[in-house]
Amino acid sequence: MHDYDRTTLFIDGQWVPGTGGAPIDVIDPATEQRVGVVPSGTAADVDAAVDAARRAFDPLISLAERRERLDRAIAAMEKRLPDIAETITREMGAPIRISQTVQTQVPLAVARGFAAALTDFEFEERIGNSLVVREPYGVVAAITPWNYPLYQLVAKVVPAIAAGCTVVLKPSNEAPLSVFEFVEALAESGLPPGVVNLVTGPGGVVGERMAEHPDVDFVSFTGSTGVGSRVGELAGKSIKKVALELGGKSANVILEGGDLKTAIKVGVGNAFLNGGQTCMAWTRMLVPQSRYGEALDLIAEAASKYTVGDPWDPGTRIGPSASASQYHSVLGFIERAQRDGARLLVGGSEKVRDVGYFIKPTVFADVDPDSELGQEEVFGPVLAVIPFSDTDDALRIANGTPYGLSGAVWAADDQTAIAFARQVQTGQLDINGGPYNPVAPFGGYKKSGIGRELGRIGFEEYLQTKSLQLKS
């Protein structure tokens, strides 16, 4: 049984009423009906949570204690995954098949990746006459978005626990219910009071207090570039460590000689995964002019297979946009792209259903790389196809946005693709269809962010470094 009427925050190991006013409604984007509420927390609630996290923080925590907390937390989370999958579909509209796989199994793989990192990690090393030791960073503030509600938190909370840090969480108000189930699981796993604390509420109040709080050591934010900039500013003022995982406009570059058919099939799937609400989505497809006509036919055919509809139907591949504001924002991009002269190949802005925030999977051809659609993150099922004349042109276009989060390169052989990939300013690239790796460091170049998440390198972000100079 799910509890979607949440009236309490989790602070210092207790479920306690917040000090805020009217609770925040959570809306099912498929039905536009209210499914539940969460408390609207305040700066005072953040202060209580940070205080609890500070008291729970022990810089000398043993490795055995971290290991035990981590293993129990992962086991408890794993048990709750079927429930959490249902809740994610209810609160943000991901098709149930996506909720049961990408939305929940990827976080599990990511969590196990951190467990492996802890097992193998060398916490001390000699550098010359110094003993260099790695210590838990301290109190972590984790602020997350709605698109992959569980994954976003696991990528921060699990390495924090593994490192011996304590955490205050603030999920997005669009999809907070699955986070309550995750925190319940952590609480049941026997984590000591104050190790993990949950405060929901408006980003401008709760999030800002977390970012500026003098007793927070590290703020790890995932969300839009605009809000990330504000979080960075607040964290900078109080000289705390900040990690920012922000937006993207990643390029899927199909070079001459690349396997066009596979690149298009995989690329369309990547662009439309989770209704295009994926920061690392390959939302620009770069195709050689010489194969452009053939490519457009294949793209239209691939896109036509993406059925949009009821997220509870196992055959649905694209559910609704996650919220009314997201829906209107995406439709605005589609309408402006048409006005900017892009050619509508598939989809468009017509209504799909009378109720629910459904948008047709949409592909534009002949997109000007410098137009809004060629530059800005849409965060919906909208793919921009851009032709290029030669490899230099492809590289210029691939690097020609303010972002640099992800991408792909397809070429006749891996060596050619890797040589091209080395010149792309982005944090991650798939080479000729190389599969997702849950322990590969993930993060942005340029305005896509600062810092890396996942695996050993993501784990190290949660550690401080101390050098002890020895006589010999």
**Binding site residues, ligand NAP, CB under 6 A:** 143-147, 170-174, 202-204, 207-208, 211, 222-224, 227, 230-231, 245-248, 279, 377, 379, 405, 444, 449
Q: Which residues contact 371 (CB under 8 A, 6 or more apart)?
A: 337, 340, 341, 342
Report the nearest approach of ligand NAP to the CB of residue 284 (Å): 14
Run of H or E including 374: helix 372-375
Report the nearest approach of ligand NAP to the CB of residue 187 (Å): 21
What tokens does 18 get?
Answer: 């917040």
Between 271 and 279, whose beta carbon lies closer to ligand NAP? 279
What tokens does 437 get?
Answer: 């790796």
Per-residue buried b or exposed e for 206-244, using 16+ beta carbons within 10 Å of the residue's own CB:
bbbbbbbbeebbbbbbbbebebbebbbebbeeeebbbbb
Between 140 and 211, whose beta carbon lies closer to ligand NAP? 211
**Are the CB atoms for 147 and 274 separated by under 8 Å?**
yes
What tokens does 241 get?
Answer: 């460590």
Given the residues 86, 279, 377, 461, the one annotated as active site:
279
CA-to-CA distance for 259 and 242, rounded, in angstroms? 40
CA-to-CA distance for 70 and 111, rounded, in angstroms? 9
What tokens does 318 get?
Answer: 């694209």
Give the closest residue to 252 by CA, choosing from 414, 447, 421, 419. 421
Between 211 and 395, whose beta carbon lies closer to ligand NAP? 211
CA-to-CA distance for 147 and 296, rounded, in angstroms? 29
- Based on the residue annotation, tell me whether 301 is a catalytic residue of this protein: no
Between 147 and 432, whose beta carbon lies closer to ligand NAP? 147
**Are the CB atoms for 155 and 110 separated by under 8 Å?**
yes
Residue 1 CB-density burial (10 A; 0-12 exposed, 13-18 middle, 19+ buried): exposed
Between 189 and 277, whose beta carbon lies closer to ligand NAP? 277
Report the nearest approach of ligand NAP to the CB of residue 381 (Å): 14
Strands 24-28 and 449-450: unpaired
Report the nearest approach of ligand NAP to the CB of residue 428 (Å): 10
Report the nearest approach of ligand NAP to the CB of residue 148 (Å): 6
Between 316 and 406, whose beta carbon lies closer to ligand NAP? 406
Report the nearest approach of ligand NAP to the CB of residue 200 (Å): 8
What tokens does 374 get?
Answer: 């060629």
Given the residues 91, 245, 453, 461, the one annotated as active site:
245
Question: Which residue intervals of 225-291 are DSSP H helices?
Answer: 225-237, 260-272
CA-to-CA distance for 224 and 199, rounded, in angstroms? 20
CA-to-CA distance for 266 and 279, rounded, in angstroms? 17
**Are the CB atoms for 403 and 281 separated by under 8 Å?**
no
Between 67 and 230, whose beta carbon lies closer to ligand NAP? 230
- Based on the residue annotation, tell me whether 461 is a catalytic residue of this protein: no
Report the nearest approach of ligand NAP to the CB of residue 221 (Å): 7
**Are the CB atoms for 413 and 420 separated by under 8 Å?**
no
Catalytic positions: 245, 279
